[in-house]
């Protein structure tokens, strides 16, 4: 069984390490965090691996995971490249959606194979199970031969391998952030509106969760473009006027949020050809004209 060393065993790397242990696909080698105490806690939680105080204490391994925060990846790569550890032939990869494989470039001179793998899901659950990770898109960038060697590491825990090249990382990361993080923030805001409307917090949470679940089913079944419904695509400007009036009274600070989101629905309706020109103009008057 291959061994993986981990630099930065926080929530994301720790979640994956637990999955590899559950699937018995990798052995955890050394674990190095910003402090020895943190590394020891990670090893204790995993019940595997060896907590190391410095990078120089690592033993060679087939795989190396750099799981530190985005802004620390480059410095970790330089530090590892300057260490006495034997690295030739090892595959070093990070999990960051924001950066390409190029951020690991300092390791090229040490004979490492480099990759970037971004599992497109939240990795903050301390007890993530294989069945929960199954089907997760794993967007991977690097030399095709390197990716082929890394592929089984993620497919072995149920990931769906998606090799890519020359991705616009800024646009890519903005996209997945909207789908995940911003969707959660918008759901939180709408849940607050539900409570203010008269529902109990328990009711509001239940409505939010059930509606999100059915929305995901719609997107999975028909796609976002085809499944979207509601007053905008119906051309119901009076309902949108009522929404705006209610928000003006209860949450005036959120009017801009509503307008931006409703304009996004309007953009889709325009693309699909749902509305005539007169209705489009009425919506633009209500929500603000689209940017040129």
Q: Over the chain, what is the mean pLDDT? A: 94
Domain co-membership, 152 together with 54: yes
Domain count, the chain: 2
Give percent of the chain above pLDDT 90. 93
Task: Answer yes or no: do 20 and 138 share one domain.
Answer: yes
Task: Quote the pLDDT of residue 289.
Answer: 59
Q: Are residues 15 and 111 in the same domain?
A: yes
The CATH number of residue 51's host domain is 3.40.50.720
Q: Are residues 180 and 226 in the same domain?
A: yes
pLDDT of residue 123: 85
User: Considering 133, 167, 201, which residue would you say is the last residue of a domain?
Assistant: 167
Same domain? For 8 and 79 the reply is: yes
Residue 292 lies inside a defined structural domain of this protein: no
Give the sheet arrangement for strand 63-66, strand by strand. Answer: 50-51, 27-32, 3-7, 63-66, 91-94, 113-119, 137-142, 160-164
Dist. CA 155–CA 130, nearest whole Å: 11
- Are residues 148 and 281 located together in one domain of the fold? no
Q: How far apart, in whole angstroms, are the C-alpha atoms of residue 76 and residue 73?
A: 5
What was the pLDDT predicted at 127?
78
* Gap between the Cα atoms of 167 and 165, Å rounded: 6
User: Could you tell me which of 193, 225, 194, 226 has the C-alpha nearest to residue 207?
Assistant: 194
Q: Is pLDDT of 292 > 70?
A: no
Are both 194 and 65 inside the same structural domain?
Answer: no
**Do residue 109 and residue 134 come from a single domain?**
yes
Say yes or no to pLDDT of 290 above 90.
no
Residue finishing a domain among 111, 138, 167: 167
Residue 164 has pLDDT above 90, yes or no: yes
pLDDT higher than threshold 90 for residue 126: no
Residues 155 and 174 in one domain: no
Rounded to two decimals, the pTM is 0.86
pLDDT band at 70 (very low <50, low <70, confident <90, very high): very high
Distance, CA of 121 to CA of 33 (rounded, Å): 23
Give the mean model confidence (pLDDT) for residues 31-49. Answer: 96
Mean pLDDT value of segment 23-36:
97
- The answer on 153 and 82 residing in a single domain is yes
pLDDT tens track for 144-157 = 999 999 999 999 99
pLDDT at 128: 84
Residue 274's domain comprises 170-287
> How is residue 69 annotated by DSSP?
-
Which string of DSSP letters, residue by residue, matches 166-206? S--HHHHHHHHHIIIIIHHHHHHHHHHHHHHHT--HHHHHH
Q: Are residues 261 and 118 in the same domain?
A: no
Q: Is residue 41 part of a domain?
A: yes
Q: Residue 125: is its pLDDT beyond 70?
A: no
**C-alpha span between 20 and 277 (Å, rounded):** 55
Confidence of residue 124 (pLDDT cuts 50, 70, 90): confident
pLDDT band at 288 (very low <50, low <70, confident <90, very high): confident
247 and 279 together in one domain: yes
CATH code assigned at 239:
1.10.1040
Residue 48 lies in a domain: yes
DSSP state of 27: E
Note the pLDDT tens digit of each residue in 193-242. Answer: 999 999 999 999 999 999 999 999 999 999 999 999 999 999 999 999 99
Going by their DSSP bridges, the two strands 91-94 and 3-7 should be labelled as unpaired
């Amino acid at each position: 069984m291959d061994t993986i060393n981990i630099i930065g065993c926080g929530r994301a790397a720790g979640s994956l390490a637990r999955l590899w242990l559950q699937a018995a696909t990798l052995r955890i080698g050394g674990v190095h965090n910003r402090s020895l105490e943190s590394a020891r806690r990670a090893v204790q939680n995993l019940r595997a691996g060896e907590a190391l105080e410095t990078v120089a204490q690592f033993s060679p391994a087939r795989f190396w995971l750099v799981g530190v925060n985005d802004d620390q990846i480059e410095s970790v790569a330089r530090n590892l490249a300057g260490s006495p550890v034997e690295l030739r032939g090892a595959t070093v990869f990070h999990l960051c959606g924001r950066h390409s494989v190029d951020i690991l470039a300092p390791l090229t001179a040490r004979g490492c194979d480099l990759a970037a793998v971004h599992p497109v899901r939240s990795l903050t659950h301390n007890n993530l199970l294989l069945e929960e990770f199954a089907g997760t898109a794993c967007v991977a960038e690097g030399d095709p031969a390197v990716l082929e060697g890394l592929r089984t590491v993620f497919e072995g825990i149920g990931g769906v391998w998606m090799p890519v090249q020359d991705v616009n990382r800024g646009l890519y990361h903005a996209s997945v952030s909207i789908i995940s993080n911003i969707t959660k923030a918008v759901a939180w805001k709408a849940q607050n509106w539900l409570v203010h409307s008269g529902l109990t917090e328990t009711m509001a949470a239940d409505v939010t969760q059930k509606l999100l679940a059915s929305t995901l089913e719609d997107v999975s079944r028909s796609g976002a473009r085809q499944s979207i419904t509601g007053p905008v695509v119906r051309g119901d400007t009076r309902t949108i006027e009522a929404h705006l009036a209610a928000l003006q009274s209860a949450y005036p600070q959120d009017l801009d949020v509503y307008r931006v989101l409703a304009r996004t629905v309007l953009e889709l309706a325009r693309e699909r050809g749902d509305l005539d020109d007169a209705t489009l103009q009425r919506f633009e008057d209500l929500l603000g004209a689209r940017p040129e």
